[in-house]
Amino acid sequence: MKHQIDGDFGLPECGDTIRHALREDVGWADITSLFTVPEDAAATAVITAKEPGVVAGLGVAAAVFEAVDSDIAFLASLEEGAVFESGAALCTVAGRARSLLSGERVALNFLQRLSGIATLTRAFVDRIGGSDARIVDTRKTAPGLRALEKYAVRVGGGFNHRMGLFDAVLIKENHISAAGGIAAAVAAAYQRASHVVTVTVECRTLDQVRQAVEADVDIVLLDNMSPDTMREAVETYPDVSMEASGGVSLDNVADIAATGVRIISVGALTHSSRALDLSMILSLQHAG
């Protein structure tokens, strides 16, 4: 199997995810291809874009075809993370026609979804160009696809928030209520957390921000605050890391970045991105 290796974005291991997707789609056999396509037919197929975007998931698509048939040749036409226009060729695959057809839908599903996430992420990153803020993702991902979706965010120029509940402390409204207040929750977290684990507190009011700062948290999360309120929080505590979250859109992200927050978390990157419109067109290879 010949294919382009992904760059510095850190493509996660996705073999189990691909195998599950193929079992779900192909089952015991692709009966349409089995019944209608000659066994010895060879073909070349090109995956092309029907709209502009940012490509992500070429390595995943290559791995899908490899899982179907290790004799398929995969050649990427673009580098991962490249911007493309409508009509651009993203990659070419060649091999047994039946194998190409059996892998088509699963490869496109991954490539369309991941490219959609990368494209939306790049749009957010471009909107805050020139600021010191970072666009980061959230845990609002499709079940089973978190590592790949967060990978696509990186390809689009964004950054990853915590991967799950296990790698950082994020104290939210329900934790505060259950613990008996912000100070108590933060104290309990620091008592048990490793020194390398960050502690963030979600705050909805400036008074909660004050309590979190007095508790010496690592990051204060400004939840669903107006830009004016965010700016006041940042100006009042200039040495505290502030994160904006909740209600972030392409329409308001530049205003949020202008408040001075350093982190802007956007759930929409993964939960509301639209799959890009891509297609695969196959051509038979004729002997002689």
- Please report the pLDDT score of residue 199 as a whole number: 97
Arithmetic mean of pLDDT over the chain: 95
Q: Is residue 172 annotated as part of the catalytic site, yes or no?
A: yes
- Please report the pLDDT score of residue 226 as a whole number: 97
- Please report the pLDDT score of residue 288 as a whole number: 52
- Please report the pLDDT score of residue 5 as a whole number: 39
Q: What are phi and psi of 72, to 5 degrees?
A: -70, 135
Q: Which residues of the chain have pLDDT under 70?
A: 1-7, 286-288
Burial 31-55 (b: 16+ CB within 10 A, else e): eebeeebeeebbbbbbbbbeeebbb
- Please report the pLDDT score of residue 157 as a whole number: 96
Q: How many CB atoms lie within 10 A of CB 207?
A: 10
Q: Kindly name the residue from 140, 204, 210, 262 that is annotated as catalytic.
A: 140
Q: Is residue 140 annotated as part of the catalytic site, yes or no?
A: yes
**Adjacent-strand bridge partners of 282:** 45
Q: Is residue 150 annotated as part of the catalytic site, yes or no?
A: no
- Please report the pLDDT score of residue 285 as a whole number: 82
Q: Kindly name the residue from 19, 23, 50, 172 that is annotated as catalytic.
A: 172
- Please report the pLDDT score of residue 2 as a whole number: 30
**Contact (CB, 8 A) for 223 and 203:** yes
Q: Is residue 204 annotated as part of the catalytic site, yes or no?
A: no
Q: Kindly name the residue from 105, 162, 204, 210 that is annotated as catalytic.
A: 105
- Please report the pLDDT score of residue 287 as a whole number: 59
**Residues present in the chain in total:** 288
Q: Kindly name the residue from 137, 149, 223, 243 that is annotated as catalytic.
A: 223
Question: What's the 3-state SS for the chain?
Answer: CCCCCCCCCCCCCCHHHHHHHHHHHHCCCCHHHHHHCCCCCEEEEEEEECCCEECCCHHHHHHHHHHHCCCCEEEECCCCCCEECCCCEEEEEEEEHHHHHHHHHHHHHHHHHHHHHHHHHHHHHHHCCCCCCEEECCCCCCCCCHHHHHHHHHHCCCECCCCCCCCCEEECHHHHHHHCCHHHHHHHHHHHCCCCCCEEEEECCHHHHHHHHHCCCCEEEEECCCHHHHHHHHHHCCCCEEEEECCCCCCCHHHHHCCCCCEEECCHHHHCCCCCCEEEEEEEECCC
